[in-house]
Structure 1
């Protein structure tokens, strides 16, 4: 599908109120520091609403964005090194474009490469960038690029849903305020500011291909039965799908005797004692990692990851605060980097309220993960109905060809 988009304008949106001087340095946490300097990209697609013109939508988006940036003030600043954000109210780029196609041609297309046309251009020091694309049918795409260095997927959703609530209700008075003190729970390390972190693009050894796979509730239930443990333990929906993806991936790998290092992201907010606020802003996630031999089943991966998660108990946050975890993880990372292993990443955004982002013309028809230029990644998101799950799978082009042949996609 040829998707022609034409850039109409680009302007800088700044916070509606200046950030107080006492808040002009947002300290990154250790968890922020160790995150790769990449962006979370999502595109929200909205059906036509003839009651509101494109110009009205544009004004509503920009005005409410300015107000939301006063609440999420670090997003309007600039990243400085790997230690803090200068909350200088420099603002964010807001682009507008036109697409000479209908919305339905995009939302029903499983090819992932076209999404780039609906995402804004970014620079390394930006925390946020946005592009609004208007379709000839009257539909709208809001493409958002959010610096992973300052926040995780839930932080992203918190911001977008606050922004949409301000646009819809005309005031930010009723929204919950984010908590920006994650660095007090996971203190940063000065040494990490001196290390040269590779850009996400540097991990791309071959051309990366993205493919969206959709699984219905019935298909997921069948996989849960397939990967149930001998003792009757039943995997979660995401665990079952992870096991399936891993099983297929091991089948298409032709090299004998290889060992995989599998990573999975887990939310730390609910696992802390006492639990952290659901409005805690930042990378409040922990990365689980397990070794899995090529011959191991997907079910074995499931239980290894579950056992690893048990180690992230209420005392983990206390050890982070004392900088004990930091030293252990840096040592483990160094050891991992020295091992020649096949790496695979799983990240679940299921149960995140993506579809609550109503800017005043209805909720999104579809929300699609824009991914990142990194191979061997599987991102999970609920379908709009909530019963099924969409997986954005990113593999090298050669492995994606093998997987599509294996699944006859």
Structure 2
């Protein structure tokens, strides 16, 4: 039997401010059109790091040195990524870059990290995973104020978990990876007489290229009224290859994201249909489903922008309606995802200038929002983080052994991430409790995915 770890003890809470004051000319950061469309939510990510230090040093000393390096390097990184140290004001289209700082919490947990990695079903399912983010942190709320919050949790073995909450209004996943890897590179140079030079090409100027428009302001996203459960479904490379062999005979070279997303949607909709039937006394009340997938536009526009020049949100969404019964045909779902995505990207490339582009994005956004409010429609927001360099964040003590999405406020959400080898997919799925129970029993899904598998095996130090 694996004992769940106790609640982390928060031992310090402080503000980390930029090492260099933000110039007056940068004190107001205007949000762009794409920032404006981004949902007012926080993305909680967990980075797990093993302790590779020599046993000549005590665990306490190792943890103290690492945390000191994290704070010093974060302070330096914030001088470049200065909006993250600011605050969202009453004006929903600006960030006040007042150097108020990033909330930085230090905590410790009375267990060894390998015990969690070897038994994530017991060590991180639901409650224990939430414990790495205290209840009063911003990711539990959707009201916007502080763009970034960090918690470092030290384990008895010297390993650590780095929990990061970042506002989607300020950074999308591409920009977040640029920030976290810049922070990590800064930390890795400490003590080596190397000064990482700021990237002067980095500009928060997307509002100049894509200024905001007059749209209704969404300040909060209401959390679900039902209990949601979050689970991990891991598709190993070998299972993806088998799935591809089944679908690939009818669709040319389907991607691993298309395959995993189609299968998850198929099974999730089936679970929702069964749940709806039980509530309706045998007749399904679920008439349609809507898949909403976030997409990175940086390489899709007519004039692509280099990452250093596109810090912020440069992403959008496309929507795909799935009529009742369609979820049973996996090949059909894969082909629909590809077709709708291709049509959307082609339209973006053609319309990616001036008011035409903004009108196109507004029109498509309004269409799926209208569809999502229809009676008996089930909406599944999905975001694929596959291909982003999330495993490259080396702060000087090695790359993370595991990166995963933390608990969600929202339900019916699907997040796809690379596995550590870059070949498989880890899907973090949030569903209503009864629907998740049905999904866990779905043999069609279990033939290709493992539920909450071990991250290791990882040896516990003697």
- Taking structure 1 as the reference length, the TM-score comes to 0.93
CA distance in 2 between counterparts of 1:276 and 1:67 reads 25
Structure-2 residue corresponding to 1:95: 105
CA distance in 2 between counterparts of 1:334 and 1:246 reads 19
Unaligned stretches of 5+ in structure 1?
A: none
Q: Contact 1:132 / 1:140 at 8 angstroms: preserved in 2?
A: yes
Q: 1:328 aligns with which of 357, 363, 368?
A: 363
Q: Contact 2:148 / 2:165 at 8 angstroms: preserved in 1?
A: yes
Structure-2 residue corresponding to 1:75: 84
Q: 2:378 aligns with which of 332, 342, 367?
A: 342
Structure-1 residue corresponding to 2:457: none
> How much has 1:40 moved relative to structure 2?
0.9
Shift in alpha-carbon separation, 1:178–1:92, aligned structure 2, 3 A: same
CA distance in 2 between counterparts of 1:164 and 1:210 reads 28
CA distance in 1 between counterparts of 2:249 and 2:22 reads 53
Alignment partner of 1:159 is 2:172 = no
After TM superposition, the structure 1 stretch with the greater mean CA deviation from structure 2, 74-83 or 322-331, is 322-331
Q: 2:340 aligns with which of 293, 308, 317?
A: 308
> How much has 1:304 moved relative to structure 2?
2.1
SS in 1 for 2:150: strand
SS in 2 for 1:336: helix
After TM superposition, the structure 1 = structure 2 runs for residues 261-300 of structure 1, keeping only pairs within 5 Å, are 261-279=290-308, 280-296=310-326, 297-300=329-332
Count of matched residue pairs = 404
Q: Contact 2:372 / 2:379 at 8 angstroms: preserved in 1?
A: no
Alignment partner of 1:23 is 2:58 = no
SS in 2 for 1:131: strand
> How much has 1:367 moved relative to structure 2?
0.9
Structure-1 residue corresponding to 2:243: 223
> How much has 1:268 moved relative to structure 2?
0.1
CA distance in 1 between counterparts of 2:365 and 2:261 reads 26
Q: 1:115 aligns with which of 129, 133, 136?
A: 129
> How much has 1:318 moved relative to structure 2?
1.1
> How much has 1:299 moved relative to structure 2?
2.5
Q: Deviations over 1:256-315 (max 9, x none)?
A: 361111111111000012211123211211101011113112322222222222332322
Q: 2:43 aligns with which of 35, 40, 45?
A: 40
> How much has 1:177 moved relative to structure 2?
4.6
> How much has 1:386 moved relative to structure 2?
1.5
Shift in alpha-carbon separation, 1:185–1:329, aligned structure 2, 3 A: farther
Q: Contact 1:187 / 1:323 at 8 angstroms: preserved in 2?
A: no
Q: Deviations over 1:142-171 (max 9, x none)?
A: 111111111111111111100000010133
Q: Contact 1:79 / 1:86 at 8 angstroms: preserved in 2?
A: yes
> How much has 1:332 moved relative to structure 2?
2.0
Alignment partner of 1:234 is 2:241 = no
Q: Contact 1:186 / 1:320 at 8 angstroms: preserved in 2?
A: no
Unaligned stretches of 5+ in structure 2?
A: 55-60, 278-283, 452-462
Q: Contact 1:98 / 1:133 at 8 angstroms: preserved in 2?
A: yes
CA distance in 1 between counterparts of 2:260 and 2:199 reads 35
SS in 1 for 2:409: coil
Shift in alpha-carbon separation, 1:334–1:168, aligned structure 2, 3 A: closer
Shift in alpha-carbon separation, 1:381–1:105, aligned structure 2, 3 A: same
CA distance in 1 between counterparts of 2:229 and 2:401 reads 25
Alignment partner of 1:86 is 2:132 = no
Q: Deviations over 1:103-122 (max 9, x none)?
A: 01222303432222223522
- Superposition CA RMSD, Å: 2.1
- Taking structure 2 as the reference length, the TM-score comes to 0.83
Shift in alpha-carbon separation, 1:355–1:175, aligned structure 2, 3 A: farther
Q: Contact 1:187 / 1:320 at 8 angstroms: preserved in 2?
A: no
CA distance in 1 between counterparts of 2:200 and 2:115 reads 36
Structure-1 residue corresponding to 2:220: 198
